[in-house]
Copies of this chain bind each other. A is one copy, B any other.
Amino acid sequence: MVKTDEVLKRLDGFTIEIPSWGFADTGTRFGKFFQDAAAATIDEKFADAGHVHALTGCCPTVAVHGLWDFKKDQSPREVAALARRHGVRVGSINPNVFQDQQYKWGSIANRSAEIRKMAADHIIESVRIGQAVGSNVLSIWLGDGLNYPGQGDIIARKRWVAQALKAVHATMPAKMTMLLEYKPFEPAFYATDIADWGMALLLCKAAGKQARVLVDTGHHYPSVNIEQIVAWLLDEGMLGGFHFNDRKYADDDLTMGSIDPYQTFRIFHEIENHRFRTGKDPALAYMVDQSHNLKPKIEAMLQTVDMAQQLYAKACLVDRKELALAQGREDLVASESIVRDAFLTDVRPLLAQWRKAHKLPIDTMAAHRESRYEARAAAERRACHGPKAGGGYA
């Protein structure tokens, strides 16, 4: 087993970006169950994120959403200042080109050159916001796709997407990274325009040198070996980061590790394998992308951050020299056990040590509940925004 000190040091370098929309009311197509304490404004979102960072000490940045978090009349710098006031920084910038009515037939994969331009311009606007707020990560997810066989030309759309990404890439400053997300289903059901990591990789190559693939753990069909994809992308120098969440079937956006923690552990294991192999830090953006609507928003986030640290620490425990030796003699049971025993190890004491050293509460959830932050937020926000309604199925 790897020494505790090394794992503690590794944890120092492990930060997790949390999404502003993770604090807002979200739901399913059957409707939303509203929470009084859910954040409605960017100020409230940063406040919640700052609270989470204060408790966990490892969530210094917040992913923001082009459409929802930046108002027309608000300068991006103001938003950045708002974040700082709550003790966090603006992280990745996420354009939104899937919600507005003009995107009914797609955004940058739309047949209409005009709408493609509109969408590309919105993404380029996100590049500018990034520059203004000091964020170097542009994180793109498209809702584009086809709902029925025959609806559109798969290859024409592929080319339109490549073209737009290239145009966006050309506007990026040298330090900025474009992250490109893939997803095989939803909201388009017959074919999504960036369905898997192979398509994302080809589009990144087409876009430019600063484009990398973003792996959302929920965006795979069941049984797909996600850690193998991660290992390949790392080896190709094409992995940019993660959107973490869990799911039993589709992209359920459940909290990380809630359904299959061993799978997420194996992803971290492959990342640490890469570090061991190359001696280099892969420089990945670890981001949470969960938005489920039953758990209290902040509690869900704290739970995920805690689980992320646990699973990452477990992966750091794997003795890779021993593993290489066992693999070298084709000792299958020993090789597997070295990996699995790291997973079976209870790292909560180790995490407690890390938190103590950083003067953080040992039990973040308990500290949050004791703080009564949620009740206060609920009261204030209810008073401020009034009753919520709307958004049913039909």
Binding site for B on A (CB under 8 A): 21, 24-31, 33-34, 65, 68, 98-99, 101, 104-105, 111, 143, 147-155, 158, 184-187, 189-191, 195-199, 201-202, 221-225, 227-229, 231-232, 234-236, 247-250, 252, 254-255, 258-263, 266, 269-270, 273-274, 277, 291-292, 294-296, 299-300, 303, 310, 323-324, 327-328, 330, 332-333, 335-340, 343-346, 348, 365, 390-394
Report the copy number of this chain in the oligomer: 4
In the complex, the answer to whether A225 meets B186 with C-beta atoms within 8 Å is no
Q: Complex formed: what's the CA distance from A260 to B234 in Å?
A: 24
Given A186-B28, A195-B228, A221-B221, the answer on whether A336 and B143 have CB atoms closer than 8 Å is: no
If A185-B223, A185-B252 are given as contacts, then 12 extra A-B residue pairs at C-beta distance below 8 Å, sorted by A number, are A28-B186, A34-B101, A68-B394, A147-B252, A150-B336, A150-B340, A189-B249, A198-B229, A223-B249, A225-B248, A296-B332, A303-B336
Contacts of A346 in B (CB 8 A): 344-346
The residue that A261 contacts in the complex, of B154, B184, B262, with Cβ under 8 A, is: B262
> How near does chain B come to A268, taking the closest CB pair, in angstroms?
12
Contact B299 A333 (CB under 8 A): yes
Report whether B338 and A150 are in contact in the complex, using a CB–CB cutoff of 8 Å. Answer: yes
CA A294 – CA B65 in complex, angstroms?
A: 25
Q: Kindly report which residue of chain B lies nearest to residue A344, judged by CB atoms.
A: B346
Contact of A152 among B30, B199, B327 (CB under 8 A): B327
Nearest first, the 4 closest Cβ-Cβ pairs linking A and B are: A198-B198, A150-B339, A222-B222, A346-B346
* A319–chain B nearest beta-carbon distance, Å: 11
Residue of A111, A147, A231, A236 with highest tally of chain B CB at under 10 A: A147
Give the residue of B24, B33, B149, B390 whose beta carbon is less than 8 angstroms from that of A266: B149
User: A305: shortest Cβ distance to chain B, in Å?
Assistant: 13
Report the separation of the CA atoms of residues A307 and B333 in the bound assembly, to the nearest whole angstrom: 13
- Residue of A187, A195, A222, A227 with highest tally of chain B CB at under 10 A: A187
In the complex, are the beta carbons of A147 and B332 less than 8 A apart? yes
**Interchain CB contact (< 8 A) of A248 among B189, B330, B344:** B189
Chain B residue at minimal CB-CB distance from A221: B221
